[in-house]
């Protein structure tokens, strides 16, 4: 089989790239190792930056998001029993975020692909990316029990940290930067209405807690736990009691409780692979970078990568201009490192390190108090949370441009 762009991975990055290429008349084939049901139920991120929401609308994938997604104009920080709201529009010139689960983004993009796009093969396991540094790269894959080869002009590696794409970049040319954190997140989905209309980030002496949501009737909540924790270690009652304790404020109030329908434990780490391009192979999303979930950046970074890559491929396809492809890695990495900075800062400010000293505790509280009392500090948080520009063009103009 032949195509112009081989896309490995049908997460939001691969699916959005395919959609953008379809709109530009550029052929692509998407290979996904899992079945459709797995992709459409896999619980991941749920916060879309302002620019991510705009990118989905521009790609024709925003109708259901706009009907069912929840627009949020701020977050609440809780510490020492206090509440402080960070108002995004007043600090960013009107920007906001949207609560809309990654599973729903994938459903929307899959439906669009099957409605009029190129091939999307589920159960197609990519085995290797070969000859990425030539004009004729190819992807070996296994589908329906047979091994096949997908010949292409470009490969987009959207297959995550454990995929074959990252491994195709020679070790001698790769640089990796990583930080592991000595704690994890215990995450739960609960059939309970959210107890606050915006996300709540709580710093407590017992550890971090987050109140989030998936819909007006479904809550998504997290607790900081030791990195060795298993979900089975916690009972429903213990989870709710600990959430109540860590999210408590001096003005009272308790969480609305309900049946917990899913639990999981998420390890915390930061990872960046450089470069994000090798020959005609382009890495995107978790294949190139991982951020701790505190800053809600993972999905949004992936979208920024593929919007940048789609623009570059369209420019090269239309008039032979290779500039965007040549600068893809450097352009994306500038945004990646700013997101890494923000996610690290949020993580360090809100989580209690097992080896923390009283001095460390006071520094955390001082950082939170600075945000609560300084417009400049609050603006930095709001700008980073709602999303930095996808590329240099957006940076020059002071905003996030929509995909062409």
pLDDT (tens digit, 9 = 90+) per residue, 92-104?
999 999 999 999 9
Tokens (6 digits) for 331: 């352009």
Q: Can you give the CATH number for the domain in which 307 is found?
A: 3.50.50.60
397-401: average pLDDT: 36
CA-based radius of gyration for the chain? 21
Q: What percent of the chain is modeled with pLDDT above 90?
A: 92
Look at residue 392 in the predicted model and tell me its pLDDT.
52
> 78 by DSSP, 3-state: which?
strand
In a domain, 380, yes or no: no
Q: Does the structure show a pLDDT above 60 at 130? A: yes
Given the residues 196, 204, 278, 297, the one annotated as active site: 297
In a domain, 116, yes or no: yes
Look up the domain containing 334 and give its range: 5-70+101-177+269-351
* Active-site annotation holds for 297: yes
> 76 by DSSP, 3-state: which?
strand
Look at residue 402 in the predicted model and tell me its pLDDT.
34
In a domain, 300, yes or no: yes
Query: In whole angstroms, what is the distance from residue 149 CA to residue 6 CA?
Result: 11
Given the residues 137, 194, 292, 293, the one annotated as active site: 293
In a domain, 115, yes or no: yes
- The region of weakest confidence among 5-19, 126-140, 250-264, 388-402 is 388-402
Tokens (6 digits) for 216: 């007006």
In a domain, 287, yes or no: yes
Query: In whole angstroms, what is the distance from residue 269 CA to residue 284 CA?
Result: 18
Confidence of residue 391 (pLDDT cuts 50, 70, 90): low
Look at residue 389 in the predicted model and tell me its pLDDT.
80
* Active-site annotation holds for 72: yes
Q: Does the structure show a pLDDT above 50 at 251? A: yes
The overall longest dimension of the chain from CA atoms, in Å, is: 65
Taking CA atoms, 122 is separated from 37, 126, 140, in Å, by: 10, 11, 15
Select the more confidently predicted residue: 77 or 117: 77
Q: Does the structure show a pLDDT above 50 at 229? A: yes
Given the residues 154, 289, 385, 403, the one annotated as active site: 385
* Number of domains present in the structure of the chain: 1
Give residue-wise pLDDT tens across range 286-337: 999 999 999 899 999 999 999 999 999 999 999 999 999 999 999 999 999 9
In a domain, 92, yes or no: no
- Helix, strand, coil distribution of the chain in percent, nearest 5: 40, 30, 30
116-138: average pLDDT: 96
Give residue-wise pLDDT tens across range 159-212: 999 999 999 999 999 999 999 999 999 999 999 999 999 999 999 999 999 999
Q: Does the structure show a pLDDT above 50 at 21? A: yes
In a domain, 222, yes or no: no
């Amino acid at each position: 089989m032949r195509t112009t762009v081989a896309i490995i991975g049908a997460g939001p990055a691969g699916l959005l790239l395919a959609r953008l290429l379809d709109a530009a008349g550029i052929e692509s084939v998407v290979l996904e190792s899992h079945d459709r049901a797995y992709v459409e139920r896999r619980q991941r991120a749920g916060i879309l930056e302002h620019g991510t929401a705009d990118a989905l609308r521009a790609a024709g994938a925003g109708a259901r998001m706009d009907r069912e997604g929840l627009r949020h104009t701020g977050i609440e920080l809780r510490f020492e029993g206090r509440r402080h709201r960070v108002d995004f529009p007043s600090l960013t010139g009107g920007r906001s975020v949207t609560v809309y689960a990654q599973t729903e983004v994938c459903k929307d993009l899959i439906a669009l692909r099957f409605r009029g796009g190129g091939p999307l093969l589920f159960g197609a396991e990519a085995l290797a990316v070969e000859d990425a540094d030539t004009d004729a790269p190819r992807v070996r894959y296994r589908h329906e029990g047979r091994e096949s080869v997908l010949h292409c002009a470009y490969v987009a590696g959207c297959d995550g940290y454990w995929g074959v794409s990252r491994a195709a970049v020679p070790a001698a040319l790769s640089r990796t930067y990583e930080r592991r954190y000595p704690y994890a997140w215990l995450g739960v989905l609960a059939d309970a209405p959210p107890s606050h209309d915006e996300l709540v980030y709580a710093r407590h002496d017992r550890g971090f807690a987050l109140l989030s949501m998936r819909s007006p009737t479904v809550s998504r909540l997290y607790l900081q736990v030791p990195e060795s924790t298993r979900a089975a270690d916690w009972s429903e009652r213990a989870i709710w009691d600990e959430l109540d304790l860590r999210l408590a404020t001096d003005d009272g109030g308790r969480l609305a409780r309900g049946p917990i329908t899913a639990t999981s434990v998420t390890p915390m780490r930061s990872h960046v692979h450089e470069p994000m391009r090798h020959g005609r192979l382009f890495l995107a999303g978790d294949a190139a970078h991982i951020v701790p979930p505190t800053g809600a950046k993972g999905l949004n970074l992936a979208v920024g990568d593929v919007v940048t890559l789609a623009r570059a491929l369209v420019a090269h396809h239309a008039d032979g201009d290779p500039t965007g492809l040549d600068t893809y890695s450097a352009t994306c990495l500038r945004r990646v490192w700013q997101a890494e900075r923000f996610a690290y800062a949020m993580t360090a400010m809100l989580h209690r390190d097992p080896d923390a000293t009283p001095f460390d505790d006071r520094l955390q509280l001082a950082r939170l108090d600075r945000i609560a009392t300084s417009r400049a500090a609050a603006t930095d948080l709001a700008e980073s949370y709602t999303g930095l520009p996808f590329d240099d063009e957006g940076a020059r103009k002071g905003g996030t441009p929509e995909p062409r």
